[in-house]
């Protein structure tokens, strides 16, 4: 047999999916509590599902315009403007994608030539590394500070003539960190100074417990910034595969070429559902965010005096737990937690060297279950 492409060799399986698999295999001594999955434990709100049923019943089941149905692009533009006072032209600066992940992949395909570099702050979502590799680029990781906050001071040091883009995720999966206004301003200034693109994955922008500033509010980088967002997290629509990009027409029109020749368009019923999500009652999102915040607080309070240090997230539904010591027989921190405590988590090292003493917990379980997790850890 002829070999596969060289670029596929660099991809590794998703650590969160592998760990979820191990959790399903179980443990002989206790019931496993699975905190691996980055998926809301809420169902998609009823009015959003209804909009999809209605679209399907009305026969809106064909291909749509590649960049998305105009009503959805308009709804996205209006919604973004209402949140962040920044207007993107729905006809040329908005592209609807089959999930935020696909939008990210398109952008890397657009920007990277073999050997080009993309800067990432550790700890960062594990798919970025593989996506950059798959596009024959080189991820340049910036190690985090001790508290896992991003080290902005190191940013200029990793820039090289091959640097194409800074990819930031705000709020951060896995740490729940939310970048400050000053930090974003500094990133924007550096991107301008070195003529770099900035890809801002803001998929968790609605799940925040303090304030949130979007990079789109920094007008000085409008021509070099692309915002990635989607419906999976805020509206509990992970399976609907619907997201979007916002950026200058020059970028969006090129991304649309990749999109036309690969996905064609995002799923039509999902697009109608997304309109209902943005134009309908936002109380459904508030309810989920309040719940995530309560869980975070209950869990952080319970672990306050434990030997495990929890980094209290400012956003997302994740948090990082420091595991100082493990028994030598365990290959990883998450194997240790799974075997000794029956808690399935994702190894911190999957998100970068700086997080090697941590595991990521997804707090997408009821507060009572999180209390059981805390009880086991305190035992």
In the complex, the residues that contact ligand PLP under the rule CB under 6 A are: 38, 99-101, 125, 169, 173, 201, 203, 230, 232, 238, 243
Q: How far is the CB of 58 from ligand PLP (least distance, A)?
A: 25
**Cα–Cα distance measured from residue 333 to residue 320, given in angstroms and rounded to the nearest whole number:** 12
Query: For residue 353, how far is the Cα from the chain centroid?
Result: 19
CA distances from 201 to 3, 30, 39, 103, 339 (A): 34, 38, 17, 10, 34
Output the residue with the shortest Cβ distance to ligand PLP.
99
Q: How far is the CB of 201 from ligand PLP (least distance, A)?
A: 5
Q: How far is the CB of 266 from ligand PLP (least distance, A)?
A: 11
Cβ-based nearer residue to ligand PLP, 104 or 190? 104
Q: How far is the CB of 103 from ligand PLP (least distance, A)?
A: 8
Q: How far is the CB of 259 from ligand PLP (least distance, A)?
A: 14
Q: How far is the CB of 327 from ligand PLP (least distance, A)?
A: 31
Half-sphere exposure for 210 (CA within 13 Å, toward CB): 13
Cβ-based nearer residue to ligand PLP, 228 or 377? 228
Residue 348 tokens, joined: 């911190």
Query: Are the C-beta atoms of residues 237 and 210 closer than 8 Å to each other?
Result: no
Q: How far is the CB of 102 from ligand PLP (least distance, A)?
A: 6
Burial zone of 150 (CB within 10 Å; 0-12 exposed, 13-18 middle, 19+ buried): buried
Cβ-based nearer residue to ligand PLP, 19 or 303? 19
62: Cβ–Cβ under 8 A, 6 or more apart, which residues? 268
Cβ-based nearer residue to ligand PLP, 173 or 347? 173
Query: Are the C-beta atoms of residues 169 and 124 closer than 8 Å to each other?
Result: yes
Query: Are the C-beta atoms of residues 95 and 245 closer than 8 Å to each other?
Result: yes
* First-to-final CA distance of the chain: 54
**Which of left, alpha, beta for 176 (phi over 0: left; psi -120 to 50: alpha)?**
left
Comparing CA positions, the residue from 94, 97, 139, 91 lying closest to residue 115 is: 139
Cβ-based nearer residue to ligand PLP, 183 or 341? 183
Cβ-based nearer residue to ligand PLP, 232 or 319? 232
Cβ-based nearer residue to ligand PLP, 302 or 354? 354
């Amino acid at each position: 047999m002829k070999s596969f492409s060289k670029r596929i060799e660099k991809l590794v399986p998703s650590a969160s999916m592998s760990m979820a698999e191990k959790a399903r295999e179980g443990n002989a001594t206790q019931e496993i509590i699975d905190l691996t999955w980055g998926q809301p434990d809420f169902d998609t709100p009823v009015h959003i599902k209804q909009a999809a049923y209605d679209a399907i019943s009305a026969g809106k089941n064909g291909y749509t315009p590649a960049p998305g149905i105009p009503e959805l692009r308009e709804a996205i533009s209006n919604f973004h403007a209402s949140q962040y006072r920044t207007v993107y032209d729905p006809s040329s600066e908005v592209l609807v994608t089959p999930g935020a992940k696909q939008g990210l992949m398109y952008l890397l395909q657009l920007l990277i030539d073999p050997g080009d570099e993309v800067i990432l702050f550790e700890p960062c979502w594990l798919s970025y590394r593989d996506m950059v590799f798959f596009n024959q680029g080189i991820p340049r990781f910036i190690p985090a500070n001790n508290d896992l906050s991003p080290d902005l001071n190191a940013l200029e040091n990793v820039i090289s003539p091959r640097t194409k883009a800074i990819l930031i995720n705000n709020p951060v999966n896995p740490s729940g960190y939310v970048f400050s206004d000053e930090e974003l301003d500094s990133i924007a200034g550096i991107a301008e100074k070195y003529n770099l693109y900035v890809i801002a994955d803001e998929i968790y922008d609605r799940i925040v417990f303090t304030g949130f500033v979007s990079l789109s509010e920094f007008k000085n980088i409008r021509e070099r910034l692309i915002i990635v967002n989607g419906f999976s997290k805020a509206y509990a629509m992970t399976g609907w595969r619907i997201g979007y990009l916002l950026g200058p027409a020059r970028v969006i029109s090129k991304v649309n070429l990749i999109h036309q020749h690969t996905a064609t368009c995002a799923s039509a019923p999902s697009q109608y559902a997304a309109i209902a999500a943005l134009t309908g009652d936002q109380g459904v999102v508030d309810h989920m965010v309040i719940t995530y915040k309560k869980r975070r607080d209950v869990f952080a309070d319970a672990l306050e005096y434990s030997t495990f240090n929890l980094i209290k997230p400012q956003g997302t539904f994740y948090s990082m737990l420091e595991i100082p010591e493990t028994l030598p027989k365990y290959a990883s921190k998450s194997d240790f937690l799974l075997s000794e405590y029956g808690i399935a988590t994702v190894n911190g090292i999957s998100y970068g060297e700086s997080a090697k003493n941590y595991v990521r917990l997804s707090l997408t379980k009821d507060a009572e279950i999180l209390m059981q997790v805390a009880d086991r850890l305190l035992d």
